[in-house]
Structure 1
Amino acid sequence: MRDPAYQKVVFGLLEQIRNGMLLPGDKLKGEIQLAAELGVSRSTLREGLRLLQEAGYLQIKNGVGSFVRLPDGLIQNRLTTLESVGKMIERAGFQADSICRSVIHRTPEPGWRTALELSNEEKVVEILRERRADLHTVAVSLTIFPEQLVHDGFDQGISGSIFENLEHRFDRVVHYAVTRILAPNPNSTQDKRIIEQLNSPTVLLEQLHFDSNDVPVFLSLDYILTQEMKLTIRRERI
């Protein structure tokens, strides 16, 4: 017996969600275009979308469209897209906020100095923030700026997007980031302190951000709770 036609819709869209082509918050294409791409009628498409909605993979807003969500409530991010942790949280349908735990002017770690191309005399501004989704902690972010860039501009804390703050307050635009996914080092005093604070399985997202002239702007270390957030990347065979 052949599978019902609506299963082409269910399996086709689930595959796109699972491989990261569709992320929570993404709006599906219109019915006519989506039905043509999947090779089904519009009535068959609607039945498939209804089943995905019941399973928790879609949120259908009448008069607006269909939006992807995850039934397990995980916050998902496609690593080929550069966006803030706050934006990742909002895209998943949660209310994003953060608590600034500390702002310190200090001598950088040797690795930070090298990454940010600082001289031996230059200091950094280190900002430690707790990142939350619907008032629930999902990550801890350590953001390191060259002191000569931000001076005392963040001494009272930071609100909103770092990218927007840098652009509007310091005239620096981030164009790309070099990203590494790491396991926190239990022998590192810094990593150990944050791991103990979170008391949960954690992955470290290390990102060095650059401007259009390939000059490093800031370094971010995001300690992400793996039970709350999911990182994905699409890899193509060449």
Structure 2
Amino acid sequence: MEKIKKFGQPLPFIVRNKIVQLIEEGAFTPSNRIPSEVKLAEILGVSRVTVREGLRLLEEDGLIIRRQGVGTFTKGYKSLKGNPLEIDLSVTEVIELAGFKAGTSSFKLQKTSADKLIAKKLSIKAGSPVFIIERVRTADERPVVYTIDVFSKDIVRGSFKKFSGSLSKLLRERHDQKIEYSKAEIIPILVKPYIAKKLEIKTNVPLLLIEEIDYSIQDHPILYCREYWAAELFSFTIFRRHHSN
């Protein structure tokens, strides 16, 4: 790959333009992770500091998303297909990586008592106070995902009110609850009438249900989630390593 010629514009702008060119040429595919700063510096023949500044410009332009501790991802081009499942991305991030504007058309927050199922999922006692959040998430104002998130009141600092954007980010930044890893099950189902109404789709069409528990670094459950994804709009990819005996 041709290295950057060091003349003309300031180097961070040249790096920014070169990475855009590589994305357009297919070197970095939409919604996928791009190389590390160290690797990009090696590829482009510039310093890591210059690469970091170039990536900052791309982030300001809305062309990439940077996830601390996970990596940097190119945004897609109006496609919700092929999202990588081995990377734990929030619904907001999946939609934004696909090139859409993420939003919320419906929001319901309630405080209630955990039933036996929720208590088991969150490793708390039945009857413990929990918050349940139901949302319809949108991509460019089109309903695409219906989500139900449940978490213990004990992890919340102070009051908990209506918000916009990523719940996991909110819990991390305001309530010091960092999700370290997740365990998820993907279940193909037929849409029920009440969900069809929320997503503005026909009944008895396929949906992808992702049932997930998010854990802290101490292996304690933070969130129990049920996400109903419109199957006609979304697909996911799984990368499997070959194991030979």
**CA RMSD, aligned part only?**
3.2
Quote the residue 2:87 is aligned against. 81
The change in CA–CA distance for 1:192 and 1:110 in structure 2 (over 3 A counts) is farther
2:136 aligned to which of 130, 139, 144: 130
Give the Å deviation of 1:169.
1.5
Quote the residue 1:227 is aligned against. 232
Counterpart CA distance in 2 for 1:126 and 1:151 is: 16
The change in CA–CA distance for 1:162 and 1:219 in structure 2 (over 3 A counts) is same
Counterpart CA distance in 2 for 1:135 and 1:174 is: 28
Q: Please give the residue correspondences for 1:150-165 in structure 2 after superposition, counting only pairs within 5 Å.
A: 150=156, 153-154=159-160, 156-165=161-170
Give the Å deviation of 1:25.
6.2
Counterpart CA distance in 1 for 2:190 and 2:140 is: 29
Deviations 1:74-108 (A, max 9, x none): 34421111111110111111111113421111233
Unaligned runs of 5+ in 2: 1-22, 45-62, 64-73
Tell me, what secondary structure is at the counterpart of 2:169? Answer: helix
Normalising to structure 2: TM-score of the pair? 0.64
Which protein, 1 or 2, shows the higher relative CO under an 8 Å CA cutoff with sep ≥ 6? 1
- Give the fraction of aligned pairs with identical amino acids, expressed as a percent: 23
Normalising to structure 1: TM-score of the pair? 0.65
Counterpart CA distance in 1 for 2:108 and 2:79 is: 29
Q: Please give the residue correspondences for 1:67-216 in structure 2 after superposition, counting only pairs within 5 Å.
A: 69=76, 73-150=79-156, 153-154=159-160, 156-184=161-189, 193-198=194-199, 199-200=201-202, 201-216=206-221
Quote the residue 1:51 is aligned against. none
Question: Contact (CA 8 Å) 2:130, 2:153: kept in 1 or not?
Answer: yes
- Give the counterpart letter for 1:153 in structure 2: S
Counterpart CA distance in 2 for 1:175 and 1:88 is: 18
- Give the counterpart letter for 1:212 in structure 2: I
